[in-house]
Amino acid sequence: MRSTKTHTQNPDTDPIMALPFIRNSTRAERRSGRLGRIFWAVTPTGDYGTDCQTGEGYALLALDFMASERCPQIMQWAVLDMLANGHPRSGIEVGFLSTFGRRALLGHVVKEAADHVVF
């Protein structure tokens, strides 16, 4: 399914900017070749448990945004930036990806069960 929203409006008022892990790149970053938007801009605390909870919260916010804005690309953009930025993995990434994994598994199990229900 393709998104019906383009997210090319004013970067300061774009609803995607409400997601706490997304920011616009700086002028210096754009001059060095970065794209205009950074989809994984996080700062771990160093407390693994706290960071896992933060990542889970970010995932839930992302899922809500993806559903309300019909923009499923958020996860792929975040993961691609995780890989491109080359910063060390923290609990934020673990919590984020684990939450998406649990939600995907739940959706798959529910679909599989529904496929076998006879009325």
* Closest by Cα among 64, 96, 65 to 81: 96
Residue type at 49 in one-letter notation: G
Give the model's confidence band at 4: pLDDT under 50 very low, under 70 low, under 90 confident, else very high: very low
The pLDDT of 11-30, averaged and rounded, is 87
Question: Backbone dihedral region of 7: left (phi > 0), alpha (psi from -120 to 50 degrees) or beta?
Answer: left
Asked if residue 9 has pLDDT above 60, the reply is no
Residue 55 lies in a domain: yes
Q: Are strands 23-24 and 37-38 parallel, antiparallel or unpaired?
A: antiparallel
- CA–CA dist 107, 85 (Å, integer): 30
Q: How many domains does the chain have?
A: 1
Q: Is residue 10 part of a domain?
A: no
Would 34 be classed as within a structural domain?
yes
pLDDT at 11: 53
- Assess if residue 77 is contained within a domain: yes
Token digits for 84?
């491109």
Domain that includes residue 62, residue range: 15-115
- What is the tens place of the pLDDT at every residue in 54-111? 999 999 999 999 999 999 999 999 999 999 887 789 999 999 999 999 999 988 888 8
7 falls within a domain: no
Write the pLDDT tens digit of every residue in 24-46.
Answer: 988 898 888 777 899 999 999 99
Residue 9 lies in a domain: no
pLDDT for res 2: 38
